[in-house]
Amino acid sequence: MNLPSLLLLLFAVFSSAGGQIMLKHGMAHASAAAGRDGTSLAVRAATTPWVVIGLVVFAVSALAWMSTLARVPLSIAYPFNALGYLLIVLAGSTLLHERTSPWTWAGSLLVVAGLVTVFAGQRG
Protein backbone atom coordinates (compact mmCIF):
# COMPACT_ATOMS: atom_id res chain seq x y z
CA MET A 1 0.00 0.00 0.00
CA ASN A 2 1.39 3.37 -0.97
CA LEU A 3 1.38 6.51 1.20
CA PRO A 4 -1.56 8.29 -0.52
CA SER A 5 -3.73 5.18 -0.12
CA LEU A 6 -2.74 4.86 3.54
CA LEU A 7 -3.54 8.53 4.16
CA LEU A 8 -6.92 8.16 2.44
CA LEU A 9 -7.67 5.07 4.50
CA LEU A 10 -6.74 6.85 7.73
CA PHE A 11 -8.85 9.85 6.73
CA ALA A 12 -11.82 7.55 6.12
CA VAL A 13 -11.41 5.87 9.51
CA PHE A 14 -10.79 9.07 11.49
CA SER A 15 -13.63 10.97 9.83
CA SER A 16 -16.00 8.06 10.40
CA ALA A 17 -15.08 7.98 14.09
CA GLY A 18 -15.40 11.76 14.31
CA GLY A 19 -18.81 11.66 12.69
CA GLN A 20 -19.98 8.99 15.13
CA ILE A 21 -18.83 11.04 18.12
CA MET A 22 -20.60 14.13 16.75
CA LEU A 23 -23.78 12.10 16.23
CA LYS A 24 -23.64 10.71 19.77
CA HIS A 25 -23.08 14.17 21.24
CA GLY A 26 -25.87 15.67 19.15
CA MET A 27 -28.33 12.90 19.89
CA ALA A 28 -27.76 13.25 23.63
CA HIS A 29 -28.72 16.92 23.34
CA ALA A 30 -31.64 16.19 20.99
CA SER A 31 -33.00 13.50 23.30
CA ALA A 32 -32.80 15.76 26.35
CA ALA A 33 -34.47 18.63 24.50
CA ALA A 34 -37.23 16.39 23.12
CA GLY A 35 -37.94 15.06 26.60
CA ARG A 36 -37.95 18.54 28.06
CA ASP A 37 -40.33 20.19 25.60
CA GLY A 38 -42.27 17.18 24.33
CA THR A 39 -41.26 17.50 20.67
CA SER A 40 -40.46 14.59 18.43
CA LEU A 41 -36.95 13.17 18.77
CA ALA A 42 -36.71 12.96 14.97
CA VAL A 43 -37.51 16.67 14.62
CA ARG A 44 -35.07 17.58 17.37
CA ALA A 45 -32.34 15.43 15.81
CA ALA A 46 -32.89 16.98 12.38
CA THR A 47 -32.48 20.46 13.85
CA THR A 48 -29.52 19.78 16.15
CA PRO A 49 -26.30 21.17 14.62
CA TRP A 50 -24.08 18.39 16.00
CA VAL A 51 -26.33 15.76 14.42
CA VAL A 52 -26.39 17.52 11.05
CA ILE A 53 -22.62 18.11 11.04
CA GLY A 54 -22.03 14.52 12.20
CA LEU A 55 -24.09 13.21 9.29
CA VAL A 56 -22.14 15.36 6.83
CA VAL A 57 -18.80 14.19 8.25
CA PHE A 58 -20.02 10.59 8.19
CA ALA A 59 -21.10 11.01 4.54
CA VAL A 60 -17.66 12.39 3.65
CA SER A 61 -16.08 9.41 5.41
CA ALA A 62 -18.27 7.04 3.35
CA LEU A 63 -17.03 8.66 0.13
CA ALA A 64 -13.43 8.38 1.36
CA TRP A 65 -14.07 4.74 2.28
CA MET A 66 -15.43 3.94 -1.19
CA SER A 67 -12.40 5.61 -2.75
CA THR A 68 -10.16 3.60 -0.44
CA LEU A 69 -11.84 0.35 -1.46
CA ALA A 70 -11.12 1.16 -5.09
CA ARG A 71 -7.39 1.26 -4.26
CA VAL A 72 -6.74 -1.02 -1.29
CA PRO A 73 -7.61 -4.72 -0.89
CA LEU A 74 -10.48 -5.24 1.54
CA SER A 75 -8.36 -7.65 3.58
CA ILE A 76 -6.05 -4.72 4.37
CA ALA A 77 -8.57 -1.87 4.52
CA TYR A 78 -11.21 -3.45 6.71
CA PRO A 79 -8.99 -4.24 9.72
CA PHE A 80 -8.28 -0.50 9.92
CA ASN A 81 -11.84 -0.10 11.17
CA ALA A 82 -10.41 -1.46 14.41
CA LEU A 83 -8.53 1.81 14.74
CA GLY A 84 -11.87 3.60 14.48
CA TYR A 85 -13.20 1.47 17.31
CA LEU A 86 -10.29 2.51 19.53
CA LEU A 87 -10.80 6.18 18.60
CA ILE A 88 -14.48 5.99 19.49
CA VAL A 89 -13.81 4.33 22.85
CA LEU A 90 -11.13 6.91 23.60
CA ALA A 91 -13.32 9.86 22.55
CA GLY A 92 -16.34 8.46 24.36
CA SER A 93 -14.30 8.24 27.52
CA THR A 94 -12.51 11.58 27.30
CA LEU A 95 -14.85 13.88 25.36
CA LEU A 96 -18.25 12.48 26.28
CA HIS A 97 -17.22 11.39 29.80
CA GLU A 98 -18.66 7.91 29.33
CA ARG A 99 -17.68 5.27 31.82
CA THR A 100 -15.17 2.82 30.36
CA SER A 101 -14.19 -0.35 32.21
CA PRO A 102 -10.73 -1.91 32.28
CA TRP A 103 -12.21 -4.79 30.25
CA THR A 104 -13.19 -2.36 27.50
CA TRP A 105 -9.64 -0.97 27.41
CA ALA A 106 -8.14 -4.46 27.40
CA GLY A 107 -10.42 -5.51 24.55
CA SER A 108 -9.60 -2.34 22.64
CA LEU A 109 -5.89 -3.00 22.99
CA LEU A 110 -6.39 -6.54 21.71
CA VAL A 111 -8.25 -5.18 18.68
CA VAL A 112 -5.39 -2.78 17.98
CA ALA A 113 -2.89 -5.63 18.40
CA GLY A 114 -4.86 -7.47 15.73
CA LEU A 115 -4.64 -4.45 13.43
CA VAL A 116 -0.88 -4.23 13.95
CA THR A 117 -0.59 -7.96 13.22
CA VAL A 118 -2.54 -7.67 9.96
CA PHE A 119 -0.58 -4.61 8.86
CA ALA A 120 2.78 -6.21 9.76
CA GLY A 121 1.83 -9.33 7.80
CA GLN A 122 1.18 -7.21 4.70
CA ARG A 123 4.51 -5.42 5.00
CA GLY A 124 6.57 -8.54 5.54
User: Using one digit for the tens of pLDDT, what is the confidence trace for 65-119?
Assistant: 999 999 999 988 888 888 888 899 999 999 999 999 999 999 988 988 888 888 7
**How is residue 48 annotated by DSSP?**
-
pTM: 0.85
Report helix angle 3-37 to 81-94, nearest 10. 40
Domain ranges of the chain: 3-123
Among residues 89, 84, 81, 96, which one has the least CA distance to residue 22? Answer: 96
User: Using one digit for the tens of pLDDT, what is the confidence trace for 24-40?
Assistant: 999 999 999 998 998 89
